[in-house]
Structure 1
Amino acid sequence: MVSINPKSPILVTGGAGYIASWIIRYLLEDGKTVHATVRKLSEHGKIEHLLDLQKQYPNQLKFFEADLLQARSFHEAMKGAELVIHTASPFFISGIKDAQKQLIEPALEGTRNVLQTVNETSSVKRVVLTSSVAAILGDNIDSLSVPNHTFTEEHWNTTSSLTNQPYSYSKTVAEREAWEIVNKQNRWDLLTINPSFVMGPSLSKRLDATSVDFMRNMLKGAFRPGVPNTRMGFVDVRDVAKAHVLAGFRAEAKGRHILSNQVLPMLGAADILRAHYGKRFPLPTGNLPKFLVYLIGPFFGLNWSYTEKNVDQPLEIDHSYSVKDLGLEYRPLSETFVDHAEQLLAMKLI
């Protein structure tokens, strides 16, 4: 049981990120004081939405520069904090040239640096870490080895590596490292949030998010000829953010938490959008045969190994612990997808 003083500052790392921005907004709305780390305060374009929140909630939001790969980079931001929400970690699955430097080192070393600072900051009582369903499973084919093809928090990704699903590997090694570090002491506890594919409206206008790419490609017709028959877990960014806040302040909460509203085939996302928009957008209406995915998939960043292990494979994800332990209520995915599309339209990003 951990009780957090609501008047102490809360550190949110990676403050300009997709999930972190919503976490910060909810904390500010609750009257909390937030210390947010960003890589460079001079990059106003990346933190414009946070600067707006700072004006809206005066004296509640303070910024600090911090670098995941720089030791002691988070000391100043963590002073006086009882709760640390560590979201900072790279998220991209295409265009990877050096997985070790682009993904593994920032995720692993960043986690080590932040948690080492936690060990050195006596005020900290709890850390909430943004992990991923990718730390639970690597490819859909992994579901053949679990009961009812269904993953729960007891499962760990054992199939990803530096060369196979390196993003998933980065999340796995980072979370394992976090549990190793927390188990060597008894002053603070650790909870992890393990979301599936996060969708929903962004608070920023940035286009460098994988979720934004997915929605823009869907609405602009990149998938019009058809999509691979790949099952995916989807969850709303606002639900993920609220889960972090609940995890931080529910004294009895503990452990890992899968955040995944529903598992759908990719075509299911298009069907939800079509139910709302009709023929307004050139959405896909069918699945591509697997042999065709083998042929054209590489042009979309899908190698043969990915196709073999994910297309036409089963997948189910159990989110019941997040409901039981955090009291989380999931919003309908129709709201998630439509709100995401409307945000992109309003910002003229489509």
Structure 2
Amino acid sequence: MEKVFVTGGVGYLASFLIKHLLERGYIVHATLRDLSNASKVGLLKGLAHAKTRLKLFEADIYNPSDFAAAIRGCAFVFHLATPLHHYDNNPQYKDTTEAAVAGVKIIAESCIKSKTVKKLIYTASVMAASPLIGDASGYKDVVDETCWTPLDLPYKMYFDYIHSKTLAEKEVLSYNGLGIEVVSLACGLVGGETIQSFVSDSMALLISQALSDGILYKGLRSLEDLDSKVPIAHVQDVIDAHIFAMENSNMNGRFLVASDFLKSVEIAYLIKKQYPYITILPKLVEDTKRETKWGSTKLEQLGFHYKFGAAQIIYDSIACAKRLGVI
């Protein structure tokens, strides 16, 4: 019956995490930007055990001091919220990077001041773990936890997000051992299922070829160009990794979370193999011929096991999109 805190409560991963934490018997504090939003509040209040073990707080990453009350009395903190777009009417920060870094700083310091928080688990992104060589002229042979995305990349799409996630992850890791333990989980592109009423941005990118969406496919290819291939993971494995990080007292530091590392052309192949009636436009299938290897095994060395492989991730993602009427 320990108390845990989850930021960004109605997000794709956060809502799924809250569901599983409640099912495992935890008391959950969660934040939303607007408690007057009935549909978002209803999503969380409708979860099993929410009436007795879920408490919601109003907070905004652009006002990180809002989070202190939600952290108070908690043993573990999951920080998933991150700004995707900069609010120009907020003079406090000049861009999303400043807001994201300030957010992790305030939350980490609030965890330390609370005297109750044992561990802070931060949801990072593989976009911060690019194997690109510094001048972007090529890739390292292997992707692992030692890889950090260069901050002077020539990419435009999602650059602000990449920059903010890289600097925010480095900032949160700097607090490891300073009164709390910190775990950073740099997650791949996540798909499989959702408790939301719409397909998440992550899942939409993953199945963009099946959606025949050229703009989303451009995003998938941007990620592929950043990481050499596309790291992917099932949402259930990602949630299990978060709970594993909390419950494993020997775990701290940085971990990459992805069960598979595929070229976008291989994703297209899996879509066609499992759903032969889905038409994929030829212009949405490009083979980069890259052979970078996935070298991250830190999570598995601690005893974590991925339950879902690439074929199941793609199958479940398409099935989810069909259920929600996107395909």
Give the alignment's TM-score, normalised by structure 2: 0.84
Aligned-partner Cα distance in 2 for 1:25–1:239: 14
| 1:195 partner amino acid | C
| 2:241 partner amino acid | A
Find the partner of 1:204 among 192, 196, 211: 196
- Return closer, same or farther for 1:312/1:133 CA change in 2, 3 Å cut-off: same
Aligned-partner Cα distance in 2 for 1:314–1:216: 22
Find the partner of 2:71 among 71, 74, 78: 78
Find the partner of 2:162 among 154, 160, 168: 168
Aligned-partner Cα distance in 2 for 1:252–1:133: 23
| 2:14 partner amino acid | A
- 1:303-342 equivalence runs, <5 A: 313-342=290-319
Residue 201 of structure 1, CA deviation: 1.4
Residue 179 of structure 1, CA deviation: 2.1
Structure 1: which 5+ runs fail to align? 1-6, 93-99, 291-310
CA RMSD of aligned residues (A): 2.9
Find the partner of 1:33 among 13, 24, 27: 27
Higher relative contact order (CA 8 A, sep 6+): 1
- Matched position secondary structure for 1:129: strand
Structure 2 partner of 1:90 = 83
- Matched position secondary structure for 2:52: coil
- Matched position secondary structure for 1:245: helix
Residue 173 of structure 1, CA deviation: 0.5
Q: Is 1:282–2:274 an aligned residue pair?
A: no
Structure 2 partner of 1:305 = none
Q: Deviations over 1:90-148 (max 9, x none)?
A: 358xxxxxxx85531332121112112112211111111111222221758959453xx
Q: Is 1:21–2:18 an aligned residue pair?
A: no
- 1:144-163 equivalence runs, <5 A: 144=138, 146=140, 149-160=141-152
Structure 1 partner of 2:248 = 250
Find the partner of 1:182 among 158, 166, 176: 176
Do the aligned partners of 2:268 and 2:285 also contact (CA within 8 Å) in 1? no
Aligned-partner Cα distance in 1 for 2:168–2:9: 19
Aligned-partner Cα distance in 2 for 1:34–1:162: 41
Q: Deviations over 1:163-212 (max 9, x none)?
A: 753322111110111122335x2x211011011222221210245x4224
- Matched position secondary structure for 1:270: helix
- Matched position secondary structure for 1:72: helix
Structure 2 partner of 1:219 = 210
Segment of structure 1 superposing worse, 228-237 or 265-274: 228-237
Q: Is 1:11–2:2 an aligned residue pair?
A: no
Residue 327 of structure 1, CA deviation: 1.6
Find the partner of 1:61 among 54, 63, 79: 54
Do the aligned partners of 1:79 and 1:121 also contact (CA within 8 Å) in 2? yes
Give the alignment's TM-score, normalised by structure 1: 0.79
Aligned-partner Cα distance in 2 for 1:167–1:139: 17
Do the aligned partners of 1:143 and 1:315 also contact (CA within 8 Å) in 2? no
| 2:166 partner amino acid | T
Do the aligned partners of 1:200 and 1:237 also contact (CA within 8 Å) in 2? yes
Structure 1 partner of 2:270 = 272
Do the aligned partners of 2:131 and 2:143 also contact (CA within 8 Å) in 1? no
- Return closer, same or farther for 1:248/1:162 CA change in 2, 3 Å cut-off: farther
- Return closer, same or farther for 1:324/1:104 CA change in 2, 3 Å cut-off: same
Do the aligned partners of 2:173 and 2:183 also contact (CA within 8 Å) in 1? no
Aligned-partner Cα distance in 1 for 2:80–2:126: 14
Do the aligned partners of 1:199 and 1:337 also contact (CA within 8 Å) in 2? yes
